[in-house]
Structure formats: structure tokens, C-alpha cells
């Protein structure tokens, strides 16, 4: 049984804490959050005996691993501390708030022998695995173009909207939806252009790229047009991904876990909604990787590329330029 300490007591701390418990191979030994009441509440829900308002107090319990689920702007300090006190850390989503911090975390983790996994879940989903195998096997021909839409109605009162805490919308939202899994399928990104606007909430401290349209070119020649933002009209189909290949195509509907495969023989609809949830698979893989029995899919050496692409998107949008990677 692995003993996990959690930093953060929000939505994802609960979801991933529960995923750890659902593996049957972990227990939550403590929850730490700024607000002690939030920490206590989550500790109670997850059966953790300790709740702290200072995450450093988890160190005395000598956890086998940490789960860090806080805003990106504050997670770096916690992750760097965690590397010194725990053999492994599962980080909410983005590895770091910028490339400099991502490199620092990668180097420090290597030096201390700490396993770090960025929390992108799509690579652990049966649907994305199937999409990847269809594209990489070339059974649909060569990939030419990907198009995605990802709208999330972030609350203006949450950290998601604050540039400093979130690291910006492209880092917080676009990497997850869907740069990380598309990179997994198409490989290295070599060029990025982007335009962005800010129309609904334009307070100074809010994210500069509230809505963004980015175009990525991959080394294999394929292009990717990603539209994402914090404005999502009610009842609007806000999440989808399409792959256009020379002999066929794919349509991914993440909300329903449906994959549509388009070929000359017709359209096949595959339903992945009853498959093991990605967060559970990721938690299980992470626990096994702590004992060297599995390999995680979002190590710092790869997850830092999501940070680099999101930085390139921001640079391209703000400077009206094409950024080479």
C-alpha cells in the first residue's frame, strides 16, 4: 500500500485522490491546503488521518508520493520541495508555469531520483489509444490536419482566470485540450502561430488570451488548428477533435467518449464510455512506476514540451509572429 500526501483540496484533488483509493493500492495519509477547513473536509472524504494548512507538515509523515493539485503559478515551489521529501509526485496538469521552471524540475527530479508525472489524462484513455493506433499505423493514410475546439466556462472569480496564478489560458487549458494528446500522436511541433482576443472579462489581472486560435506545424508536415478559450455558450458542443488523413478521418467527442472513424467503406462509431476511467489508469500506472514496474506517459522530458508550445502560442499571439521550436 502506497501512502499518498495531497497538496490542494479542490475539484481535482478529490477526483485524483479518489482515483488513487480506487486502485486499491494506495491510502491518503494527509491533505494540506491554504484553508484548513477545505483540507479537513477533503481529508474526511478520502479517509486521511491528517489535515494541514501548511503543506510542509506532510514531510514528517514520510509519504511514498505526493499529489499536487494547486494553481500552476504556485505549484512550482511545492513540487521543488516535494522532490526532496518524496520518491514521486503526480502534478495536476501542466508540469510547470514556464519552461525555465519545467527544466529546473526535470533536472532536480533526476538528481534526487524522484518520479514526476504531469497529470494529462488523455494518454491513459482507451479512446485516445485507439485514435493513436489508427493514425500511427497509417490505416487512414497520412495525417494532414487536426482541428480541435475546447471551450471551458471558467469562473472569473477562480484562479483559472488570473494570468499569474494559472500561467495563462493556453498553458492551463489548451495543453490539456488537446495539445498534449495530439503531440502524442503526431510527434514534435516545429512551428506555431496564433491570434487571441479578450472580450468577456478584460480586467488587468485576467488572462490575456481569453479565446485563442493557434496553428501548429508538426515535423511530419501535418498542421493542427486549435481553438480554445474560457467562453462557452450554453448548450454549445464545446469539445471535439477531428483528424483529417489522406484516406480517412477521425472525430473524437470527449464528452461522450465516442470515436467516429471515417473510411471509404463508411463510418464506424466506437463507444469508449464503459472503459476504465483515465484518471484511475494513470493513478495505477504512477503507483506501479514508483516500484519500477510501469512507465508513466507524461515524464518531465516530454511534459515540458507542452509548456514550451503554450509559451510559443502566447509569444506568437502577442507579437504577431511565427515561432519556431
Rounded to 5°, the CA angle 34-38-44 comes to 130
- Report which residue's Cβ sits closest to ligand NAP: 10
Number of residues counted as binding ligand NAP (CB under 6 A):
23
Q: Binding ligand NAP by CB under 6 A: which of 38, 198, 284, 304?
A: 38
**Which of the ranges 66-74, 143-151, 189-197, 313-321 carries the binding residues for ligand NAP, by CB under 6 A?**
66-74
Which of these ranges, 64-72, 110-118, 141-149, 243-251, lies near ligand NAP under the rule CB under 6 A? 64-72
> Does 254 participate in binding ligand NAP (rule CB under 6 A)?
no
How do 249-253 and 239-245 pair as beta strands?
antiparallel
**Is residue 164 near ligand NAP by the rule CB under 6 A?**
no
**Neighbouring residues of 139: CB distance < 8 A, sequence distance ≥ 6:** 248
- CA torsion sign for 294, 297, 301, 307 is negative
Classify residue 171 as left (phi > 0), alpha (psi -120 to 50) or beta: alpha
The DSSP-derived string for 177-206 is IIIHHHHHHH--EEEEEEEEE--S---TTB
Q: For the chain, how big is the Rg over CA atoms in Å? A: 20
What does 25-76 look like in DSSP terms, one character per residue?
SEEEEEEE-SSHHHHHHHHHHHT-SEEESSGGGGGGG--SEEEE-S-HHHHH
35 binds ligand NAP (CB under 6 A): yes
- Residue 161 is classified by DSSP as G
- In the stretch 168-207, what mask flags binding to ligand NAP with x, by CB under 6 A? ----x-----------------------------------
Q: Which C-beta is closer to ligand NAP: that of 87 or that of 121?
A: 121
Instruction: Please state the three-class secondary structure of 82-111 as a single string.
Output: HHHHCCEEEECCCCCCCHHHHHHHHHHHHH
Q: List the one residue from 34, 242, 260, 315 that touches ligand NAP (CB under 6 A).
A: 34
For residue 10, the minimal CB distance to ligand NAP (Å) is: 2
Compare residues 160 and 262 and give the one whose CB is closer to ligand NAP. Answer: 160
**Is position 69 an interface residue for ligand NAP (rule: CB under 6 A)?**
yes
74 binds ligand NAP (CB under 6 A): yes
Where does this chain touch ligand NAP (CB under 6 A) — which range of 65-73, 95-103, 298-306, 312-320? 65-73
Binding window for ligand NAP (CB under 6 A); candidates: 67-75, 228-236, 238-246, 254-262: 67-75
Residues 94, 99, 100, 106: is their CA dihedral positive or negative?
positive
Closest CB to ligand NAP among 71 and 248?
Answer: 71
C-alpha closest to that of 70 among 119, 14, 7? 7
* Helical packing angle, 36-46 and 11-22, nearest 10°: 20
Does 12 sit near ligand NAP (CB under 6 A)? yes
Q: Report if residue 165 touches ligand NAP, rule: CB under 6 A.
A: yes
Contact residues: ligand NAP, CB under 6 A:
8-13, 33-35, 38, 69-72, 74, 92-93, 119, 121, 158-159, 165, 172
Amino acid at each position: 500500500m502506497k501512502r499518498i500526501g495531497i497538496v490542494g483540496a479542490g475539484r481535482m484533488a478529490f477526483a485524483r485522490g479518489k482515483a488513487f483509493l480506487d486502485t486499491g493500492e494506495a491510502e491518503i495519509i494527509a491533505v494540506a491546503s491554504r484553508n484548513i477547513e477545505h483540507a479537513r473536509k477533503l481529508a474526511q472524504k478520502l479517509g486521511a488521518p491528517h489535515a494541514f494548512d501548511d503543506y510542509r507538515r506532510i514531510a514528517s509523515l514520510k509519504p511514498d508520493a505526493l499529489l499536487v493539485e494547486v494553481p500552476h503559478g504556485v505549484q512550482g515551489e511545492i513540487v521543488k520541495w516535494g522532490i526532496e521529501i518524496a520518491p514521486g509526485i503526480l502534478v495536476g496538469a501542466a508540469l510547470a508555469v514556464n519552461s525555465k521552471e519545467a527544466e529546473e524540475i526535470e533536472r532536480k527530479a533526476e538528481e534526487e531520483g524522484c518520479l514526476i508525472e504531469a497529470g494529462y489524462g488523455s494518454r491513459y484513455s482507451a479512446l485516445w489509444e485507439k485514435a493513436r493506433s489508427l493514425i500511427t499505423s497509417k490505416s487512414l493514410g497520412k495525417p494532414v490536419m487536426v482541428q480541435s475546439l475546447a471551450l471551458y466556462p471558467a469562473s472569473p472569480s477562480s484562479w483559472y482566470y488570473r494570468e499569474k496564478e494559472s500561467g495563462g489560458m493556453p498553458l492551463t487549458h489548451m495543453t490539456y485540450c488537446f495539445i498534449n494528446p495530439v503531440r502524442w500522436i503526431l510527434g514534435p511541433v516545429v512551428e506555431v502561430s496564433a491570434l487571441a482576443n479578450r472580450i468577456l472579462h478584460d480586467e488587468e489581472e485576467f488572462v490575456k488570451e481569453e479565446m485563442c486560435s493557434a496553428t501548429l506545424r508538426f515535423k511530419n508536415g501535418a498542421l493542427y488548428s486549435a481553438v480554445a478559450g474560457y467562453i462557452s455558450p450554453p448548450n454549445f458542443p464545446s469539445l471535439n477533435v477531428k483528424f483529417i488523413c489522406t484516406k480517412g478521418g477521425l472525430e473524437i467527442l470527449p464528452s461522450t467518449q465516442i470515436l467516429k472513424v471515417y473510411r471509404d467503406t463508411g463510418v464506424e462509431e466506437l463507444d469508449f464510455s464503459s472503459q476504465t476511467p483515465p484518471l484511475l489508469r494513470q493513478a495505477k500506472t504512477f503507483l506501479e512506476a514508483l516500484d519500477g514496474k510501469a512507465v508513466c506517459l507524461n515524464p518531465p522530458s516530454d511534459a515540458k514540451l507542452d509548456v514550451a508550445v503554450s509559451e510559443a502560442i502566447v509569444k506568437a499571439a502577442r507579437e504577431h509572429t511565427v515561432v519556431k521550436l
